[in-house]
Amino acid sequence: MMTKMDKIGQLIEESLQGLMTGGLSDQPRHDVSTYDRPLTAKQSKAIGLLLAGCTVTEAAKRLGIRRQTLSGWINRHYSFNVALEVERRALWQRSRDELMSLASDALRVVRKHLEQDSLPAAIAIIRAVGVGERQLVMAADAARMEDLEAECQKIQTHLFKDALVSLSNERSADPTQDEVNEVMTLDSKIAT
């Protein structure tokens, strides 16, 4: 019967064996023999197909090779991997350059729409600079709150004037200072 220590020892031994057979070894990821090997015509075509958006399976099928062969080139063939990475970076750089050349035209179009008070254009710009929908809703709510506060202020002013008129109508004389102070106190209580 195995004890816990025996099981732990066995697990450690299996782990070490896995490390020695290539699991997590210090060996390079790529086959050393592929470091200086030039690419074949099929390997060059494979790079083109992968950059064009083909999956590994689609590219292998078009090349007439097994998918595992292409995966091996990608994962273990140093020259293939370097060439693929160089071409990917070149493709990204060309794409970035083209986008940058279109940016001034795009800004001109957006500016034209903004000058025509285009809400979708304004929202697109706000989103592009990092303001999310939540901030937009909060800003709209804040604007509505300001409108409501202004409306409340108008109503309070109207009520205040009505109260003064009511006081003056009840008497033939103008309201006393105490009455004005009382109405002002009521007004400040309403405002808070």
Task: Report DSSP letters for 172-184, one per residue.
Answer: SSPPPHHHHHHHH
Q: Would you place residue 28 in the very low, low, confident or very high pLDDT band (cuts 50, 70, 90)?
A: very low
d(CA 80, CA 50) in angstroms, rounded, equals 12
Q: Would you place residue 155 in the very low, low, confident or very high pLDDT band (cuts 50, 70, 90)?
A: confident
pLDDT score of 61 = 97
Fold of 29-101: Arc Repressor Mutant, subunit A (1.10.10)
> 80: exposed, middle or buried (C-beta count within 10 Å: 0-12, 13-18, 19+)?
buried
Cβ-contact 113, 69 below 8 angstroms: no
- For residue 163, pLDDT over 80 is answered with no
Stated pTM of the model: 0.43
Arithmetic mean of pLDDT, 150-154: 77
C-alpha distances (whole Å) from 158 to each of 31, 82, 167, 175 are 87, 79, 14, 17
pLDDT score of 24 = 43
Joined together, the tokens standing for residue 92 give: 């990204």
Question: What b-and-e string marks burial along 4-42, b requiring 16 or more CB atoms within 10 Å of the CB?
Answer: eeeeeeeeeeeeeeeeeeeeeeeeeebeeebeeeebeeb
**Which pLDDT tens digit goes with each residue over 97-147?**
888 888 777 777 777 877 887 777 777 776 676 655 566 566 666 777 777
**Structural element, H or E, at residue 138:** helix 133-170
Cβ-contact 63, 70 below 8 angstroms: yes
pLDDT score of 150 = 79
d(CA 37, CA 80) in angstroms, rounded, equals 9
**Which pLDDT tens digit goes with each residue over 29-81?**
555 555 667 899 999 999 999 999 999 999 999 999 999 999 999 988 888 98
Give the residue among 153, 156, 152 at the shortest CA–CA distance from 186.
156
**Lowest mean per-residue pLDDT among 19-28, 110-119, 139-148, 160-169:** 19-28
